[in-house]
Amino acid sequence: MVFFTCDKCGESLKKNQVAKHFYCSSHSYSCMDCQMTFDRKSYSNHLKCISENEKYGGKNYVAKENKGEVKQNAWTDCVQKAIENVKEKKLKDMLIQIKDFSNIPRKEAKFINFLVNSFRIRERDLCQRAWQAIDQQVKKLQAESKPIENGNTQQNGSTEKNGSTQQNGSTDSPMKNGHQQVKESAENNVKNVEKHSVEDRGLNENESKSANEFKWKKSIKRKLKSAEEGTMKLKRLRKEVLEEYRTTCQDTEMDEDELKEVFVQKLGSAGVVVEGNFAKLV
């Protein structure tokens, strides 16, 4: 998730909030991470920014693979493929509208809530069709990555069902019926999906629990109270609060973008005023 600061009023904005902030009449917005300035058109192309570890880690720093980011990128690719395959104009327009969001939910219930709350879409049937269009692309991708083996293949060294062997000492594999293989493969896929669903559900519950248990507002206020005149650079404040969060909730699986998003949400309700690149306690 990329965050911007309005160069006119200093308000912190998530990427999807910038367009709604045009009423401020500001013509430039700065990225909170890299400090680069963008106009009203170019900001939408700033999809990803360097992390604090990459920025301060030195030239030998090697970034670790972000599993959450990999999953989200794959999901966004499926959204793009759904746009290419959908014929219904209304559905296509809606998918185009959401594709630039960097954190589109990957669970059906959360996805529909996302459309209802963020885009004010009241047609639940349209939301369902959007989910089905994306889910269809996900299933195609899974099918392509797990091709079913041909039922007529044989392996050297395996024993035939009737127990007979070849003269050269090697044995033929049982000739499984193709339909039986398809059935077994489908059953295995269902088991894998169920297993991952249970794991994902447990993971999401743990993430939510960790984020809710951490005292965000107290941490933010404590950092600002210890700073001179109750003022601190916004990036430094975020870095210190997130470090405290990771120390307190060591079992969390939330990625950097998700943590930044939560921080921005808590910042607004903690009685803190953001002026340019600085946060000040009221």
> Has this prediction a pTM greater than 0.85?
no
- With CA atoms as reference, report the closest residue to 137 among 208, 206, 84, 65: 84
In terms of residues, how long is the chain?
282
Provide the pLDDT for residue 56. 56
Provide the pLDDT for residue 193. 43
Provide the pLDDT for residue 207. 46
Q: Give me the phi and psi of 13, to 5 degrees please.
A: -135, 135
Q: What is the DSSP string of 174-240?
A: P---HHHHHHHHHHHHHHHHHHHHHHHHHHHHHHHHHHHHS-HHHHHHHHHHHSGGGEEEHHHHHHH
Query: Which single residue is written with the structure tokens 């909030």?
Result: 17
Provide the pLDDT for residue 205. 46
* pLDDT mean for each 10 residues of the chain (282 residues): 83 82 83 83 73 58 63 84 90 86 83 84 89 91 67 45 44 45 48 46 46 78 85 89 79 72 80 83 76
Structure tokens that stand for 18 in this block:
């910038």
Yes or no: say if 132 and 152 are a contact pair by the CB < 8 Å rule.
no
Provide the pLDDT for residue 148. 47
